[in-house]
Amino acid sequence: MTGDPSSEPRDVATDARPGRPSREDRATVAFLATGLFLLLVVLLYRGTISSIPVVGAMTLVGPVIAAVVELALAIGLAAGARWARAAMTPVLWIVGLSGVITFLVSLTRGGIDIPIGALVAIWALQAPPRRGLGEAPGQRAGSVAATILVTGMAIVAAWPLIAPTATQAGGPLIAAAADLDLDLQPASPCPSGPGADHTPPDTIDVVLRWTWARGEPVRAGTDAVVLSWATMSDGEGAGYYLDEPIAQQPGVTEEDRSWLHAVYRIDLATRGFEPGTVSIRLRRPNELAAGPGLVEVAANYAHHYAGLNGQQPLGVWTRATVMTCDW
């Protein structure tokens, strides 16, 4: 022995000394661990990502693609597949760099996002790869499969930008507020003009109609309409109140009602983006005396309904319209 490191025995199948893990060995462990972890996260949190089905699905697509790519690479590397070895290093670099960028962005936003995937990818990259194992000289073995896997992981790296863009209002998956047209009118004519006695009508039937300029590719989720009303009259007594429930169209159900407002849910899986209506009947209380007055009815439509704030519905966006009936 001369003491020269270059003269020490070396494994002909690897650039590392005997006994040292190769990049393939570490990458197999890294891809298997992170792939299984991503699948576990998807299974545990698939129902809690968002109340909007398409947003939840788009959020999870990125992790699912990443898990498929990483598990495919883990299996391929364990089997010694050429396509897996060809895709290994580019995918590790993509995972490492995207994780570092995500970590830095989280710091600028006042949080800390620990890039576990990036850490194991960097750990795998520190090991040298094995030398070629029987590939034909100059041949890019498994180039098509390797390209698909690398492209898939590149898409995953860009998913934090792709998903919000695709699911913003007016994007390819979510309609914009301008795509909805609302028309709120009395179902029967209000008094043509104040009579001599200014007698309030016994009932006021109101219909909200809506149409969509364009729909969404996924018919899923819940919209809501909140109808509220107020009586302004010189006569004494309480204001108009909501009469007994009226049968609505399929997919439209009354969720809540009170003295001054009612909430109607719209099941998009049933109704889709076809024209729709919600009807109510307001009844005059017996104690409301004659005298000039009016009833103002407001309709608030919430797309992908997320609950109420007082009488105001919350959603991806809302639209409102108002009508009055005077006597």
| Residue 152: other Cβ atoms inside 10 A | 19
Q: What CATH homologous superfamily does 177-326 map to?
A: Alpha-macroglobulin, receptor-binding domain (2.60.40.690)
Domain locations along the chain: 5-166, 177-326
Q: Tens place of pLDDT for every residue, the chain, 327 residues?
A: 444 444 444 444 445 555 678 999 999 999 999 999 999 999 988 877 888 889 999 999 999 999 999 999 999 999 999 999 999 999 999 999 998 888 887 777 777 777 788 899 999 999 999 875 444 443 454 689 999 999 999 999 999 999 999 999 999 999 999 999 999 999 877 765 555 567 888 899 999 999 999 999 999 999 999 999 999 877 666 789 999 999 999 999 999 998 889 999 999 999 999 999 999 999 988 877 777 888 999 999 999 999 998 889 999 999 999 999 887
Q: Which residues contact 106 (CB under 8 A, 6 or more apart)?
A: 112, 113
Q: Tokens 């009932």 correspond to what residue? A: 203
98 three-state secondary structure: helix
| Extended strands (E) in the chain | 180-186, 203-212, 222-233, 241-242, 252-257, 261-267, 276-283, 293-303, 307-309, 312-314, 317-326
The one-character DSSP state at 261 is E
In the chain, what is the straight-line distance between the N-terminal and C-terminal CA atoms, in Å? 111
310 three-state secondary structure: coil
